[in-house]
Structure 1
Amino acid sequence: MKYISKILLAVILVGLVSCVPSKKMVYLQGADGLEQSPQTIAQDYELKIVPDDQLLITVSSKDGELLEIFSNSQVLGSTGASTTIQETVGLRVDKDGKIEVPILGEMQAGGLSRRELADAVENKLIEGEYVKDPVVNVQIKGFKVSVMGEVNSPGVQTISGDRITLLEALTMAGDLTPSGKRDNILVIREDGDQRKTYTVDLTSGEKVLESPCYYLKQNDVIYVQPNKSIGVKGSSTLSFISAGSSIISLVASVLSIVSMIIVLKDK
């Protein structure tokens, strides 16, 4: 009975050692039951316009004649006596956060949300009596983030909308390699004339959801660090070696237990 207890203890220890790596590979542990209010979520992902952004400003109105003077565009559609005119203007935000809008002139865009800038353009159109009922939409063109390090497809990602999460960006990059450090993802973010760094633990659901980097911003850089045991060689080769070492270790442990059982039987 004494020897059987020792064998069971050895088996339990081997099982515990085998479980440790898998726990470090699991994302969002403890996320069950965590909640965020809609107001908090909306506040977290509302983008602000920054220098070097490329803006797409669309102006439309039922009053085709007035808006045609403003936009010098062509009629896109007509229904009865109602005409719709639409103009698309690509504008770059300069280093001071300014844009040059046709007819309206220079306007402040940096630091504003898309809705705030759209409201400002609408007000200027009305004040200048260019059009009485403008509808303005502002989009950020070329919203980009970079993903590098221990991911399967590193590179620059261009986002079609203006909202993307850290998890989505990592998914677009093909997920982390087995050698990627999941509990210490580095995010580098430009904030005005400063660069800030954040770390995110993907294995903790609470830390991921509460991170200021859950929603990414323009020009964010995501760096997935390798585990300490990983050197400077290629991640695929290292992953193979790591997996092989784990298998050899497990086989050696099993053989050791089997040998122990055989010796006890012989006695």
Structure 2
Amino acid sequence: MRKLGFLGILIMVISFTSCVSNKDMTYLQGVEQQYAQYRDMTTTYSLKIGADDQLAISITSRDNKLISIFNNQTLIGSGVGSSQASTQNTQAGVSYFTVDKDGYIRFPIFGKIKAAGYSVDELSDMLAQRIRQEGYIQDAIVTTRIINYRVTVLGAVKNPGVVQNTTGERMTILEILGKAGDLTNVAFRKNVKVIREQDGQRISYTIDLTDPSSVFNSPAYFVKQNDLIYVEANKSERVKGSTGYTYLSVVGSFVSIVASVASLIISLTR
């Protein structure tokens, strides 16, 4: 009987160690208490343009003929002018630019213009104001989008890979993880890494998705172009494939079989 008791205890230990606490799985724990009342957002965030960003800048006017002088006749990725692209761009009022390493674009008529450090709205307003002030298009409306805004998501998510932001608008880490299919059951939610290149330097942030303060107050809550998000697996998943884990799995299976056979024998001999 002592042997059977030992086997039962061992089975229970193996079963419990394979389980993950609900406390480790739930996002934003206690958020209903922390944000029971409306809170002012202490900071606002707008996506900033950086070096190597690809921009789509569109100019609209009631007189489409006035727009053509601001077409740069370049299709992103071609490296040279394209007559077909030029026609398409002129008709749509869209021109494409790559921000150089110094943060400038070469804008038709105006030449080099500083783009890095501005938000897309700030650059649009600056260009529209200059176009109107210099008498080119009095009713000019300018819209700027970042078209190569992408974030890489790796690790314990359902759909790892590159997430494209086609709108060019700001996105949060929660939105990005949602687009990656959410975290898997083996993900360690308390140690999500965001690796960012900024001003020629690389910096890493750690976010605990179970803690609302860690999420909402993190500098990485709003993701930036080319961020890398890595979701670590929990400890039980990380040891899978190791010799020790394989040994324990075999032993656990063997113990389960022995316990089942022993229980059957006891039942039959009673």
Q: Same fold (TM over 0.5)?
A: yes
Partner secondary structure for residue 97 of structure 2: strand
CA contact (8 A) 1:104 1:125 kept: no
Q: How does 1:207-222 map to 2 (within 5 A)?
A: 207-222=214-229
Partner secondary structure for residue 175 of structure 1: coil
Q: Which of the residues 137, 143, 150 maps onto 1:144?
A: 150
Partner secondary structure for residue 199 of structure 1: strand
1:107 equivalent to 2:87? Answer no
CA contact (8 A) 1:64 1:75 kept: no
Deviations 1:139-182 (A, max 9, x none): 11021000001112111111112222111211222222222211
How many aligned residue pairs are there? 227
Q: Aligned residue for 2:25?
A: 25
CA contact (8 A) 1:104 1:124 kept: no
Q: Which of the residues 217, 226, 238 maps onto 1:231?
A: 238
1:19, distance to aligned residue in structure 2 (A): 8.6
Q: How does 1:178-257 map to 2 (within 5 A)?
A: 178-231=185-238, 233=240
Partner secondary structure for residue 124 of structure 2: helix
Distance in 1, Cα, partners of 2:40 & 2:121: 18
Q: Aligned residue for 2:132?
A: 126
Distance in 2, Cα, partners of 1:89 & 1:37: 41
Distance in 2, Cα, partners of 1:163 & 1:137: 15
CA contact (8 A) 1:61 1:86 kept: no
Distance in 1, Cα, partners of 2:41 & 2:188: 32
The alpha-carbon distance between structure 1 residues 74 and 230, as it changes in their structure 2 partners (threshold 3 A), is closer
Q: Which of the residues 152, 163, 168 maps onto 1:157?
A: 163
- Of all paired residues, the percent bearing the same amino acid is 42
The alpha-carbon distance between structure 1 residues 68 and 207, as it changes in their structure 2 partners (threshold 3 A), is same
1:65, distance to aligned residue in structure 2 (A): 4.1
Q: Aligned residue for 1:52?
A: 52
Please give the TM-score of this superposition, normalised by the length of structure 1.
0.71
CA contact (8 A) 2:57 2:95 kept: yes
CA contact (8 A) 1:99 1:106 kept: yes
**Unaligned residue ranges in structure 2 (runs of 5+):** 1-12, 74-85, 264-270
CA contact (8 A) 2:18 2:236 kept: no
Deviations 1:106-147 (A, max 9, x none): 100000011111122112212332112211011110210000
Q: Aligned residue for 1:94?
A: 100
Aligned residue identity for 1:53: D
Distance in 2, Cα, partners of 1:37 & 1:48: 25
CA contact (8 A) 2:208 2:214 kept: yes
Q: Aligned residue for 1:166?
A: 173
Q: Aligned residue for 2:80?
A: none
Partner secondary structure for residue 170 of structure 1: helix
Please give the TM-score of this superposition, normalised by the length of structure 2.
0.71
The alpha-carbon distance between structure 1 residues 146 and 20, as it changes in their structure 2 partners (threshold 3 A), is closer
Partner secondary structure for residue 146 of structure 1: strand
Distance in 1, Cα, partners of 2:67 & 2:18: 69
**Unaligned residue ranges in structure 1 (runs of 5+):** 1-13, 77-84, 235-240, 260-267
Aligned residue identity for 2:178: T
CA contact (8 A) 2:193 2:204 kept: yes
**RMSD, aligned CA:** 3.8
Deviations 1:164-205 (A, max 9, x none): 211121122222222221101000011111111100001112
Distance in 1, Cα, partners of 2:131 & 2:187: 52
